[in-house]
Structure 1
């Protein structure tokens, strides 16, 4: 089968190549999926670039196939699998055991049956792929780490990315007053998603203003946590959800760790965002998309042959919404 293989750590267009590899066989409890779409997420560029460097210890490079989001049709069933049949349209994930080495930037992938759901007929494969990691993370942030509701004020920093575009919509759907922080080119985008206010980060520092928020979902961590805490209302929740965009040994991990430590010391209410797959979470996301309450924002759809360029776009932090890979 055709797949995109990583040879070493470095710039995506230098270390990723399209080649033929053996098609995987589903093991016990697994489903072989003929992929129709997948998406590019932050863990993919981290694993390809090897940034921050400390994460290279858990991300094998030579021969790895990246990608975790699954949308396609069942090609074969492993021993003991029930509830699916060959030809069924499904979506879900391979995420859960570190950086995938046999991922979804390929024509086929094998994944555990309990990490798949039937794809609703009203969802395209493209939307289904975009809904998984980004949708799950944003949904968990706005319903579990914090409960967006009427009367609450939510700020989403990095509102124009994959997680951010979903988070703005989820928060607004659940009744919150939403402030979206993004670059000047994306202000109209986030307003169109329902943001009540849009802040251009190149001209306005939200941590220096007088507005206070019940929750800050920080997808960028471009401010030290202590500064971001200034914008919290009494009892407000800070949700760090980024390793930052800088390179080096630890990159933004230091700010993630610092926020967690300050939270443990009682300086602020800091909570992590658990965007891992559960059937209930993914079904809820899919239902909201199917009813039109939320819509995935697709930056671009790339064919499998152009995965290196797609990961490079994610690595450069230029994406407006989700970057999707379509597989014929």
Structure 2
């Protein structure tokens, strides 16, 4: 089968389009024919091997997992022993390591039936980014005023919609190019290229990862919650985790809750998102699709911060 592989860390030119062996579903796993795969920020981190604190898990000198990609949508072609929720022919979405390929193994507890009203391309844009937004918002449940920094990207567009659905007043920080998109999702917009951030918020989701911790705390209510989403910015060793660690150290000395987020993609959250999508409450925002053979270009585009919402690759 065709897949995007790498044997060394680096920029997108380390990714290669090659033939490799087709995987086999193990116990508790599905073998899925990939119809589309999402490009999330984690793809770049695993490709580049950054930040270095993650190398013990990723592989110190070279990637432990050669095939890139995680979030996907496709059709089940085989089920492993013990699988009870799915059968051959089911259309699914979820996560599986090595999704930039024609076939991928997916654990049963990392998959859900594809929303009936979405294409495969739209569904592939959901699992990682929407679960991240959902879990970040849970850190500040019942927040009346929510600020989403990086509101025009993959996680941000979901965060705005989910926060609006909860009844919150939402403000989104983004560039001029994404302002109309974010406003159309129901948020008030702060264009960071020409406007200063003002006011205070019960919950701040910092997805862009560039503002100093002290600056963010000034815009947080006395007992508000600040969630660092992702690991962008920072140095080679800690990356964006530097601010998360700083927040963790400061939290015990005040009422503000400052925390990082390690998101997962459990079946229960995927099913919850499916119900919201089928009800029309949440809709994936797709910027564009790339052929699988051009996955390196897709990763470059995503990492440059150009995407309005999500991008996907298709075999």
Q: Which residue number in structure 1 is paired with residue 180 of structure 2?
A: 188
Quote the Cα distance in structure 2 between the aligned partners of 1:270 and 1:247.
20
Residue 246 of structure 1: how far off its partner (Å): 4.9
Whether the 8 Å CA contact 1:301–1:325 is kept in 2: the answer is yes
1:85 aligned to 2:76? Answer: no
Q: Aligned to 1:275, what secondary structure does the other structure show?
A: coil
Q: Which residue number in structure 2 is paired with residue 204 of structure 1?
A: 195
1:138 aligned to 2:137? Answer: no
Quote the Cα distance in structure 2 between the aligned partners of 1:243 and 1:28.
33
Q: Report Cα offsets for 1:29-83 as digits up to 9, x if no partner.
A: 1111111111011111001122223323322345611111131111111122223
Name stretches of at least 5 consecutive residues in structure 2 with no aligned partner. none
The within-5 A match list for 1:2-151 is 2-12=2-12, 14-60=13-59, 61-62=62-63, 64-94=66-96, 100=97, 103-142=98-137, 144-148=138-142
Quote the Cα distance in structure 2 between the aligned partners of 1:318 and 1:133.
18
Q: Which residue number in structure 1 is paired with residue 155 of structure 2?
A: 163
Q: Which residue number in structure 2 is paired with residue 97 of structure 1?
A: none
Whether the 8 Å CA contact 2:2–2:20 is kept in 1: the answer is yes
Residue 201 of structure 1: how far off its partner (Å): 1.3
Q: Aligned to 1:215, what secondary structure does the other structure show?
A: strand
Whether the 8 Å CA contact 1:240–1:259 is kept in 2: the answer is no
Quote the Cα distance in structure 2 between the aligned partners of 1:73 and 1:283.
17
Quote the Cα distance in structure 2 between the aligned partners of 1:175 and 1:314.
30
Quote the Cα distance in structure 1 between the aligned partners of 2:168 and 2:122.
25
Alignment equivalent of 1:286, drawn from 252, 262, 274: 274
Whether the 8 Å CA contact 2:241–2:260 is kept in 1: the answer is no
Residue 306 of structure 1: how far off its partner (Å): 0.9
Quote the Cα distance in structure 2 between the aligned partners of 1:38 and 1:9.
21
Q: Report Cα offsets for 1:231-252 as digits up to 9, x if no partner.
A: 0122111111132235523222
The within-5 A match list for 1:230-269 is 230-246=218-234, 248-266=236-254, 268-269=256-257
1:153 aligned to 2:145? Answer: yes
Q: Report Cα offsets for 1:288-317 as digits up to 9, x if no partner.
A: 112222111112111111111111112222
Q: Report Cα offsets for 1:231-276 as digits up to 9, x if no partner.
A: 0122111111132235523222211211221123336212443531
Q: Report Cα offsets for 1:166-213 as digits up to 9, x if no partner.
A: 101111121111110011111111001110x2111123332xx3x111
Aligned residues: 312
Q: Aligned to 1:302, what secondary structure does the other structure show?
A: strand
Name stretches of at least 5 consecutive residues in structure 1 with no aligned partner. 95-99
Quote the Cα distance in structure 2 between the aligned partners of 1:131 and 1:28.
25
Q: Which residue number in structure 2 is paired with residue 173 of structure 1?
A: 165
- The RMSD of aligned alpha carbons is 1.7
Q: Which runs of 4+ in 1 moved over 6 A?
A: none
Q: Aligned to 1:111, what secondary structure does the other structure show?
A: strand
Q: Aligned to 1:74, what secondary structure does the other structure show?
A: strand
TM-score, normalised to structure 2's length? 0.93
Whether the 8 Å CA contact 1:9–1:48 is kept in 2: the answer is yes
Q: Aligned to 2:77, what secondary structure does the other structure show?
A: strand
Whether the 8 Å CA contact 2:153–2:309 is kept in 1: the answer is yes
Whether the 8 Å CA contact 2:222–2:255 is kept in 1: the answer is no
